[in-house]
Amino acid sequence: MAIALPVLAVAVGYAAWRGHRARATAVVLAMAAVPVLVVPLKLWIDRTGPLTAESGYYPSGHTATAMVAYCGAALLLRPRTGRGWAMPVAVGLSAATGIGLVLRGYHWPLDVLGSWLLCGMVLALLVTALRWIDNRRAVGSEAGAP
């Protein structure tokens, strides 16, 4: 989270500065949805971690945060980077975060997989919202053209 959230903040600031405030807002709302979805699931499922008797490990909040932050930043940067390097880097960083949490003993593999699936749905909704925003922006610019 110490890296993913600042990366997202820079991407959101850049998008807003470039006049893409609606896109930036959509990504911020997707990021805000992460704790809203993850925390109740952690409380409801009440699963212990691999190296502790404490509960609240499923799904992995760190994995969810990393995935939405990195992929959200990549989606904001897509107009500048095309379909090139941003999304593969975001997916790689998200995967590395989840795998690292498992290897360090902080989470079971299923904790990470659950976060990936949950946030995959969040990101699918985000992509749909961004397409809608882009289409509205394109229609608005065509209507104003002479």
Q: Convert the pLDDT of each residue in 8-65 to its tens digit.
A: 999 999 888 988 898 899 999 999 999 999 999 988 988 877 877 777 778 888 999 9
> Is pLDDT of 79 > 80?
no
Tokens of 134: 């882009």
Q: What's the pLDDT at 58?
A: 86
Instruction: Return d(Cα 51, Cα 35) in angstroms, integer.
Output: 23
Measured CA to CA in angstroms, residue 40 lies from 20, 27, 97, 111 at distances of: 32, 21, 22, 14
Q: What is the mean pLDDT of the chain?
A: 87
Q: What's the pLDDT at 55?
A: 76
Percent of the chain with pLDDT over 90: 52
**How many CA within 13 A on the CB side of residue 1?**
9
Band of residue 85 on the pLDDT scale cut at 50, 70, 90: confident
> Is pLDDT of 121 > 90?
yes
CA geometry: angle at 95 spanning 9 and 102, to 5°? 110
Q: Reduce the DSSP state of residue 117 to 3 states and report it.
A: helix
